[in-house]
Amino acid sequence: MSLATKRQGLFVDLLEQSRAVYESCDALQAFDSWPTDLRFIDQAPVPVPAIRQLALWTAENEFHAATQAILPFGNWQQNYLESDVGYGFLQDYGYIELYGPTGHFHSSSHRSYVGYWGRGLYYPWHKHEAEEMYCVISGAAYFESEGEAPVELGPGGTRIHKSWQPHAMTCRSRPVLTLILWRGSGLDGRAQMIGGPVPTRITGC
């Protein structure tokens, strides 16, 4: 088996685990349909520091294990600069675009990410045009959204962010692994930070 074939098989497994989560979650299904135009793109691997932490995190489910399997092959991304969020944040955070316009699986009309944030990390207030739904896969996080009550979510928990609705997230005693769906206008857009740099560690976590 060639390395390219192995990579594709691992990403297909992650996509299948993503679909299994999607099909088991009414909120995800109500948020967006499953794309029918997916085509695998063999992208060049790009690492981020946080994949070392994710590799050491004992897998809590099949999606988690499938994510760990693609760690060395993922086109890992970070949407922010050190001047936006600080050095520590960039050591503990990263995501891949699972499917979408520039994803490991191309889709012209849908977008999904797999994202990781480390224990004790504060994801500052930000906003974006596309509507967004988080689904927690492993770990837990505290979600805040303008105009809504904050909530801490564990595996299976979901949270919707409306278009341009400011929101933030805090990982307390555990890291978090998430499946994220985007829909609507702005699929090609990026998140915008609100305000300047903030502390990236939460006292007492």
Q: What is the pLDDT of residues 83-133, one digit of tens each?
A: 888 999 999 999 999 999 999 999 998 999 999 999 999 999 999 999 999
Q: Is 42 inside any structural domain?
A: yes
Q: Is 199 inside any structural domain?
A: no
Q: Is 68 inside any structural domain?
A: yes
Question: Quick check: 116 and 162 in contact, CB under 8 A?
Answer: no
- Residue 171 and residue 203: Cα distance in Å, rounded? 12
- pLDDT reading at 195 higher than 70: no
Which backbone phi and psi does 2 adopt, to 5 degrees? -75, 160
Q: Is 37 inside any structural domain?
A: yes
102 Cβ contact list (under 8 Å, min separation 6): none
**Helices vs. strands in the chain: H and E counts, helices first:** 6, 12
Q: Is 169 inside any structural domain?
A: yes
Q: Is 204 inside any structural domain?
A: no
Question: Quick check: 100 and 112 in contact, CB under 8 A?
Answer: yes
Instruction: Please give the tally of structural domains in the chain.
Output: 1
Which residues on adjacent β-strands are paired with residue 100?
Answer: 106
2 confidence band (pLDDT: 50, 70, 90)? confident
Quick one: angle between helices 62-69 and 3-23, nearest 10?
Answer: 160
Range of the domain at 177: 3-193
Question: Mean of the pLDDT values across residues 133-145?
Answer: 97
Q: Is 202 inside any structural domain?
A: no
| Single pTM value for the model | 0.93
Question: Quick check: 152 and 117 in contact, CB under 8 A?
Answer: no
Which residues on adjacent β-strands are paired with residue 123?
Answer: 169
Question: Mean of the pLDDT values across residues 52-67?
Answer: 97
Per-residue pLDDT tens for 141-181? 999 999 999 999 999 999 999 999 999 999 999 999 999 99
- pLDDT number for residue 186: 85
Burial of 186 per CB tally in 10 Å (0-12, 13-18, 19+) = middle
Q: Strands 93-100 and 39-40, how do they pair?
A: unpaired
Q: Is 146 inside any structural domain?
A: yes
Which backbone phi and psi does 57 adopt, to 5 degrees? -80, 115
Edge-to-edge strand list for the sheet holding 131-139: 39-40, 105-106, 93-100, 111-117, 176-183, 131-139, 158-161
Strand ranges for 38-129 from DSSP E:
39-40, 93-100, 105-106, 111-117, 122-127
Residue 59: give its domain's CATH number. 2.60.120.10
- Residue 202 and residue 142: Cα distance in Å, rounded? 12
Locate 71 and state its tokens.
Answer: 């760690």
12 confidence band (pLDDT: 50, 70, 90)? very high
Locate 201 and state its tokens.
Answer: 């560690």
